[in-house]
Amino acid sequence: MARTVIRTALGLAALLALAGCVHPNSPIPDDPYYAPVYPDLPPSQVVTTGSIFNDGYANELYSDIKALKVGDVITVMLTEQTKAKKSASNEISKDNKMQLDPISAGGGPITVNGQTIDLSYKEKFDMSRESDANQSNSLAGSISVNVLQVLANGNLVIRGEKWVTINDGDEFIRITGIVRPRDISPDNTIESTRVANARIQYSGTGTFADSQKSGWLSKFFSGPLWPF
């Protein structure tokens, strides 16, 4: 009896451990990796000249509002759309036929109980197999990100995230990549299709998101480890 209780407890402990390891890298808000980037402004001495213009500040009427420095903000317009289609068709046909004429001897066929001795064999095998797979995904929206680094060739490394709390769960968008200043529009926006080495993540956490995920037992039966 004691051994049965111990085995049951160990089994439950193993199941709980597996359940806890389903999503070891669950995203969290305020992740330091996606923390905002603030520019380092060198101290400057402002000389009062009585002019309405000041060298220490950018004038939006006469300056470019594009992000070009570390800490600047760029709005990425998400226009992702992917489609994939795959089809395969295999046909195999095999036909074998063999005919042996009646055995003859002494100028006539050999018979057994009045029947000639002959042999015929025929085999036919046909197999047809066809499979189709279609998949499409789309993502639309916008997210404002920070310039993390200015590379030697002038390209900008961007990174940022946006979290939205809805009912009992959170939805988030994360993006990292490299953009060229020439691809940034005059209104300081850029399409996500022009972000090089882009890593775009859109998902959610909470009760609603968990209800759409398969449990560890379902993943086992539908995974490659299930032998049947």
77 and 107 part of one domain: no
Q: How far apart are the first and last CA of the chain?
A: 34
**131-154: per-residue pLDDT in tens?**
788 878 888 889 999 999 999 999
Do 142 and 62 lie in one domain? The reply is yes
Domain count, the chain: 2
Co-location of 119 and 140 in the same domain: no
Q: Taking 50 as the threshold, does the pLDDT of residue 109 lie above it?
A: yes
pTM of the predicted model as reported, rounded to 2 decimal places: 0.56
Task: Show which of 132, 148, 163 is a domain's final residue.
Answer: 132
Judge whether 217 lies within some domain: no
pLDDT tens readout for residues 150-172: 999 999 999 999 988 877 778 88
Percent of the chain with pLDDT over 70: 61
In a domain, 176, yes or no: yes
Residue 200 lies in a domain: yes
Q: Which amino acid is at 2?
A: A
Long-range contacts of 13-19 (CB under 8 A, 24+ apart): 18/216, 19/215, 19/216
More confident residue, 125 or 87: 87
Helices marked H in 128-215: 207-211
Nearest to 225 by CA among 144, 203, 217: 217
Q: Which residues contact 205 (CB under 8 A, 6 or more apart)?
A: 26, 27, 169, 170, 172
Which of 142, 145, 199 shows the shortest CA–CA distance to 34? 145
Q: Is residue 91 classed exposed, middle or buried when 0-12, 13-18 and 19+ CB atoms within 10 A define those classes?
A: exposed
186: pLDDT strictly greater than 80: yes
Clarify whether residues 64 and 139 are in a common domain.
yes
Residue 181 lies in a domain: yes
In a domain, 218, yes or no: no
Residue 221 phi/psi, 5° resolution?
A: -70, -30
CB atoms within 10 A of CB 107: 5
In this structure, are 125 and 74 located in the same domain?
A: no
Residues 168 and 141 both lie in one domain:
yes
The answer to the question of residue 13 being in a domain is: no
Neighbours of 209 (CB within 10 A): 16
Tell me which range, 41-50, 78-87, 118-127, is most confidently predicted by mean pLDDT. 78-87
Instruction: Report d(CA 108, CA 34) in Å as an integer.
Output: 97
Q: Which domain holds residue 186?
A: 31-40+50-85+135-210
Q: Do 162 and 62 fall into the same domain?
A: yes
- Residues 175, 107 share a domain: no
Is residue 102 domain-shared with residue 121, that is, in the same domain?
Answer: yes
Instruction: Please indicate, yes or no, if residue 219 is contained in any of the structural domains.
Output: no
Query: Does residue 139 sit in the same domain as residue 190?
Result: yes
Q: Does 168 lie in the same domain as 68? A: yes
- What is the average pLDDT value for the chain, to the nearest integer? 75
> Does 125 share its domain with 61?
no
In a domain, 119, yes or no: yes
